[in-house]
Amino acid sequence: MPIKKQLQYNMSKIKRFFHEAFLFLTSWIFLKNLAGMIVTVMVVFLLTFWWMDCYTRHGKTYAVQDFSGLTLPEAKKLAKKQNFSIIVNDSLFLPGQPANTVLSQTPVANSQVKKNRKIYLTVTKAIADAVEIPGLTGGNDELYTYKKKLSRLKVNTKIKARRFDNTVEPNTILEVYYNDENITDQLRDGFKVDKGSTVEVVITERKGGRVPIPELVCMQFNEAEFLVGNFELNIGSIIKDATVTDENNAYVWRQVPAFSESQRLSIGSSVDIYLTQYKPDDCL
């Protein structure tokens, strides 16, 4: 076939292809199917967007109210109005505070959060938890270290008194008190106190100087102990006779060293005392 006729034949085929394509694209069946596809895609897109918006609450946030100081029922009622839910994740005992009072919250007040957010609260409790406090190791218990141990247990520490002692480092704990009771010996067997309560300690200090010897004979033991402490001395050995049944109300009938107006003792020295239950005859 001549080249010219071949070209004319090819052009005719191309024109026929585009004509048929045009007729197909403009036919009612194609346009109807195309419209259906477009509508389907748009519906799927709109449904997906609506579902995502409902699921994430995109762009909608709400300010969290301040729940601190409210009772737990009050906090739950207020949270419900805002479509929040309340979760109590911690509770603490505070002396003098009524139970179920909100102490803190997460997220904090005025935070912007989405709907249905959980609000975590710390509230007060009616009864304190009891925790076992560590015992003393014997001359190596430094105040700061022991205080840190109690702090981890949420127990407070307070210095009850300072006592002169040159044999150990300053601020070494000698005695431990709880509710005005000496619990030093009980610590060996395990002693529990309430969380949030206060433990008092007697610690050492170092000073120079000398003080007079107090006159203790004829005093009851509790009075003598108080006076010795005021002189910055220590009670040494306590020797009781067979009559003693109540140490605090027993009487001092002898002391070593004996009272002397001229003699002095170094601060922190010890005075041994001898006790009898009844007041000696030579005491006025």
73 to 14, 70, 76, 190, 215: CA distances (angstroms)? 82, 8, 5, 38, 64
- For residue range 217-275, list pLDDT tens digits in order: 999 999 998 898 888 788 888 899 988 888 889 999 999 999 988 888 877 788 999 99
Among the three residues 186, 205, 224, which one is the final residue of a domain in this structure?
Answer: 205
Helices (H), the chain: 3-25, 28-56, 72-81, 143-152, 221-230
Considering the entire predicted model, what is its pTM? 0.42
Which of 78-92, 94-108, 117-131, 239-253 tops mean pLDDT? Answer: 239-253
Does some domain include residue 284?
no
Last residue of a domain, one of 150, 185, 205: 205
Instruction: Write down the pLDDT at residue 63.
Output: 85
Query: According to the model, what pLDDT value does residue 262 have?
Result: 86
Total number of domains constituting the chain? 4
Same domain, 14 and 70: no
Structure confidence by residue, pLDDT tens digits, 102-118: 988 888 888 888 778 88
Of 177, 205, 233, the last residue of a domain is: 205
Judge whether 282 lies within some domain: no
Work out the average pLDDT over 54-75.
78
Q: What percent of the chain has pLDDT over 70?
A: 85
Helix (H, G, I), strand (E, B) or coil at 123: strand
Most confident range, picked from 156-165, 175-184, 198-207: 175-184
Answer yes or no: is 283 within a domain.
no
* Residue range of the domain that includes 32: 3-56
CATH code assigned at 188: 3.30.10.20
Same domain for 69 and 97: yes
Is 108 a domain residue? yes
